[in-house]
Structure 1
């Protein structure tokens, strides 16, 4: 046996074993190991740690891409000061996942348009991806349409089963789905299929009393709500629309900058 392996052969073996990070790092690590007289276990351990870390990073990147989450809507950019009724500590605990995902619990976010529901839901989704979970963000109307197509082609059970790969599905804007626009019983089937198995996070502009406009009949509405609230955390973001606040702030700023006449007849800027 030769005293040292040929570098080219090592590169080929690492490529065959699909260890690209070790393939990139091992020459420098080996040189340092020779200079500092590392034990073989230290060299091997250091290389494996880097390989695993890079794999975890790539996995998170893939999961973030497949999630369709807005990259700007994170916990770091969410202003908890605007929604004092929402406990930051509670949200941060939910963002770690753990037990509530294991039992297929639900998070329900209610409030008027522009109140931050989608941002908060997306922020929780991003944090869960960082924690190693898989998340899907979708407008409720979009997933209803896809499931309707699956039903028409007799593929609904398969389509629902494929969604099981996601630990959390975020259904945004449920209140905009209307039973007179489409056969929304597929939405109930999604809720029923994931009940106590896989988690949902739902944002809605209307309280439960307005959900009769979503499902085909009152009985289905009651059954859907019953499943969703059984293991649930409910946040109500009853605040002024973010977009309305921004528009109001801009209007105030424009007014502040308008010229005004002082008692001496000179024109000045409002302060």
Structure 2
């Protein structure tokens, strides 16, 4: 027993805390199974690896700042004419993230743009990717305050390291010249190394109206659209058709 405690102490010093907690059980199992030394050592490493992977997954969810968590299993592909089941499955495979493609989801409020983008974020995080959700307004705030705000510095650091960024409600708000420049520099910095999911209720042709500068608009569009898939989502508002009411019986 003293030997087990010594092993646990050394393992904790080596930062193998997860495996250290279960060493007594692993030793007992190895004795019962008459496991070889290599099999026993492998079981210890697997335990530590699994625990670290789970902690990393939970950290990625913390950094993601999702407005809510929704699984892609909940997304009703059959009521969204703009997306076939085959296309939905292809998006879910996330190969496009590995290739730094962008996904542009256009359409009016309530058709499922944010729902789909959140679901893809969750899918990416669960598969080992770093994914972050941020609204247009919050991104501009981070970019404008990163030199004076520690919180903004940390958030920008995570954004710059992300594999996938959801930029929600792009062009929802008008930008002044400085804000438009900041948005361009941000997108340009991540060009061809990070995938974006962009949601907007305005078509790219209307973006210059919000930015107020056709040159910057063109530069942003060039970098977003070059490797991208545009999906124009249509249909009734998901929030209205799935609304929750106070009365179960409306009679």
TM range (shorter): 0.7 to 0.9
- Give me the TM-score of the superposition, normalised by structure 1: 0.82
Larger-Rg structure: 1
1:174 is paired with a residue whose SS is: coil
Alignment check: 8 A CA contact 1:160 1:190 kept: no
Alpha-carbon distance, 1:80 to partner: 1.4
| CA spacing shift, 1:64–1:157, aligned 2, 3 Å | closer
**In angstroms, what is the RMSD of aligned CA positions?**
2.8
Distance 1:159 1:61 in 2: 17
Tell me what 1:178 maps to.
174
Q: Tell me the alpha carbon deviations over residues 147-206 of structure 1, each in whole angstroms, 9 at most, x when there is no partner.
A: 0223689xx999866532111111000131212597332112112111112111100011
| CA spacing shift, 1:33–1:149, aligned 2, 3 Å | closer
Alpha-carbon distance, 1:237 to partner: 1.0
- The 4+ residue runs of structure 1 with deviation greater than 4 A are 156-162
Distance 2:92 2:13 in 1: 38
- Give me the TM-score of the superposition, normalised by structure 2: 0.88
Counterpart of 1:140 (choices 107, 124, 136) is 136
Tell me what 1:211 maps to.
207
Distance 1:157 1:69 in 2: 19
Alignment of 1:135-174 (within 5 A): 135-150=131-146, 163-174=159-170
Alpha-carbon distance, 1:57 to partner: 1.0
Alpha-carbon distance, 1:93 to partner: 2.5
The alignment covers a number of residue pairs equal to: 248
Distance 2:133 2:214 in 1: 27
List alignment gaps of at least 5 residues for structure 1: 259-271
Distance 1:116 1:101 in 2: 20
Tell me what 1:197 maps to.
193
Tell me what 1:83 maps to.
80
Q: Does 1:25 align with 2:60?
A: no
